Amino acid sequence: MSAAYLELEDGTKFEGIGFGHPAGGAGEVVFNTGMVGYVESLSDPSYRGQILVMTYPLIGNYGVPAADRTERFESDRIQVKGLVTSSIQSDTTHATAARSLPDWLTASGVPGLSGIDTRQLTIRLRERGTMLGRIVPATEPSESIALFDPNRIEIVREVTIRSPYLHRRGKKRVVLVDCGVKQSILRALLERDASVLQVPADWDYTGEALDGILLSNGPGNPEQCPATISVLRRALALGRPVFGICLGCQLLALAAGARTYKLRYGHRGQNQPCRENGTEHCRLTSQNHGYAVEAGTLPPDWEVWFSNANDGSVEGIRHRTRPFSAVQFHPEAAPGPFDSQELFDQFVQML
């Protein structure tokens, strides 16, 4: 470990101790309020292009499982550009731990920074909004690492599957539009005995034999995915059940004719309360997104399904008469509460 610092695009610096890969990294700086689940979060493709700040002070205290414990990983690699913590633990005494968190970052070529006041950093991001930033070794000038904005490119291309792949199970077939899908979403479909045709984000699947379409989570700005939206518009004309998750919710809204916008600092954590509109029900949800649907732009035949109980932002949409719906939160959890897993059941039952 050696001295390093995080510099935000407004010039603010936070000095600490580097760990993991000794070189620096740049991306959009975001924070997650979860107390656990750093393995799932770091491997979540939705974090592609971002530097992740964990607000909980003890990170790494149960190590990292072996690579063959696939149920704990959301992809086959660390997706973030960097990790920032108050303190970092190298503990490997947990029964499932095969290596430490710093060792995992080192092997993956991902830099980390610890020993800073993550509360102060989080307050700044809440007050100023999400910013670009860079982790830099103390011996180097910040200009040696260029700032990087993942929202200005179609970053989904970096995390989508390269060619279609069929996961054979039951008779019903779901087309999974892979925009950077978490593996727990794929597992949720397979566990419900659906065969899954996993396709690249820009693949034209409208000519495929299908019973339903699931639009996955993923990173970046939904407006940077024009090919995905174009295919989806044509797919809606098929009338088959469609279900979107996270980025998939935003893409479905854009295909329907609505607009999206960037949240000030996003929702990233495991205890976001969501109200189901028109009911007395409120559920705790796992979330990881920086964009949301603009409610007032939804066409008349669409409605807001769920709303965030904290800020009122859209957390779900659905068509009033056709089998099209989506949620902004993660019903598969991983990590987080399982309050919403029945949404997968409802989708599969419609096939």
- State the catalytic residues: 246, 330, 332
* Residue 156 backbone phi and psi in degrees, to 5: -55, -30
d(CA 313, CA 294): 8
Q: Which two tokens stand for residue 336?
A: 């987080």
Residues 6+ apart with CB under 8 A from 224: 151, 152, 153, 154, 155, 156
Residues 6+ apart with CB under 8 A from 282: 273, 274, 275, 276, 309
3-state SS assignment for residue 247: helix
* Residue 248 backbone phi and psi in degrees, to 5: -60, -30
d(CA 107, CA 37): 20
Greatest distance between any 2 Cα atoms in the chain: 61
β partners of residue 307: 275, 314
Q: Which two tokens stand for residue 241?
A: 């059940």
Q: Residue length, the chain?
A: 351
Q: Which two tokens stand for residue 33?
A: 């309020």
d(CA 305, CA 315): 7
3-state SS assignment for residue 181: coil
The answer to whether the CB of 243 falls within 8 A of the CB of 347 is: yes
Q: Which amino acid is at 36?
A: V
